[in-house]
């Protein structure tokens, strides 16, 4: 059985976040994230809620129920965010909406998919800036 720290690390790495990035999103810092991941400290209630939101999983996943136990709704949201981080075309959209709600992220991913299906050259991977 994996520890809470292992779960936090696994989820963070799956989303391609650094400890600094996760700390920023979860309103803490890299040192605290490192302590969580090494099981030197355990996140309290508020910290667990913030980590849960930052990692886009229910708190029980962090506490040890594993990704395979996520219900379909959370699994879909989590997968959409993970896909957004891996796809260079979606990465720019994701970075602009880092703190957006789950529904907003799903809508942006759907819009991007529709545009890409309509016009495959919609985004060619180059930074438009």
Mind listing the pLDDT tens digit for each residue in 58-108?
Answer: 888 888 875 565 556 666 666 666 666 666 665 666 565 566 676 776 776
In whole angstroms, give the CA distance from residue 128 to residue 2. 42
Q: Quick one: pLDDT at residue 87?
A: 66
What are the structural domains of the chain? 4-69 (1.10.260.40), 72-118 (no CATH)
| The total number of residues written for the chain in this structure | 129
Q: Confidence class of residue 129 from pLDDT cuts 50, 70 and 90? A: very low
Neighbouring residues of 122: CB distance < 8 A, sequence distance ≥ 6 = 89, 115, 116
Digit-coded pLDDT (tens) for 18-45:
999 999 999 999 999 999 999 999 999 9
The pTM (predicted TM-score) of the whole model is 0.58
Q: Quick one: pLDDT at residue 82?
A: 65
Digit-coded pLDDT (tens) for 39-65:
999 999 999 999 998 888 888 888 887
Greater confidence (127 vs 36) lies with: 36
- In contact, 61 and 75? CB cutoff 8 Å: no
DSSP secondary structure code for residue 107 in this structure:
H
């Amino acid at each position: 059985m994996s520890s809470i720290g292992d779960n936090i690390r696994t989820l963070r790495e799956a989303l391609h976040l650094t400890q600094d990035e996760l700390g920023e999103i979860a309103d803490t810092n890299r040192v605290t994230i490192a302590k969580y991941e090494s099981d030197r400290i355990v996140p309290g209630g508020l910290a667990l809620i913030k980590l849960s939101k930052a990692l886009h999983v229910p708190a029980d996943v962090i506490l040890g129920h594993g990704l395979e136990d996520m219900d379909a709704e959370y699994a879909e949201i989590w997968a959409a965010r993970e896909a957004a981080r891996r796809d260079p075309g979606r990465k720019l959209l994701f970075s602009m909406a880092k703190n957006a709600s789950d529904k907003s992220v799903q809508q942006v991913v759907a819009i991007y998919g529709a545009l890409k299906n309509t016009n495959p050259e919609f985004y060619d991977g180059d930074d438009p800036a």
